[in-house]
Amino acid sequence: MSLSHVDESGRARMVDVGEKPVSRRTALAEGFVRMSAEAFALVRESAIAKGDVLRIAEVAGTMGGKQTGGLIPLCHQLPLDVLVVECEADAELPGVRVQAGAVATGRTGVEMEALTAVSVACLTLSDMLKAVDRGMTIEAISVTEKHGGASGDYLRGDA
């Protein structure tokens, strides 16, 4: 299998998607921030002095996902039809589960936009909660589902 972002001589290149058909592309991604019981209680009770960290992380994730083409080298700038980020407190972690769904009508997929949105939301949560818990971890950021395009549908096995 060859890498699409590398030419015959090994140089990095942007993939030419000009000949690909336009189609509706969707992607879902998820990740989570695992934290101490103390930090989790503050999140669940909306008791962080900086504000509603879950809603702020959702907005940050959306903003980040919209900037994917400017952040990831060789990634195409995509006009997104929609990008939704949801952060939910999860007592089993304990922590916050972050999910993002991206949709675009175009010639290339939106997996990177969904992954970037989750990553930025997780980083925002970490930033807002670091005064309470310096040992938080950001974990398991991955694409869970993808639809559209020549490579077809993808569902992660454990999703």
Q: Decide if 52 is catalytic.
A: no
Spatial contact of 27 and 146, defined as CB atoms under 8 Å apart: yes
Tell me the C-alpha distance between 93 and 34, whole Å: 6
Tell me the C-alpha distance between 18 and 119, whole Å: 29
Picking from 7, 41, 27, the residue whose alpha carbon sits closest to that of residue 146 is: 27
Picking from 46, 52, 41, the residue whose alpha carbon sits closest to that of residue 133 is: 41
Q: For tokens 């089993």, name the residue.
A: 92
Report residue 130 as tokens.
Answer: 């670091």
Among candidate residues 127, 133, 153, 158, the one labeled active-site is: 127
Active site residues: 127
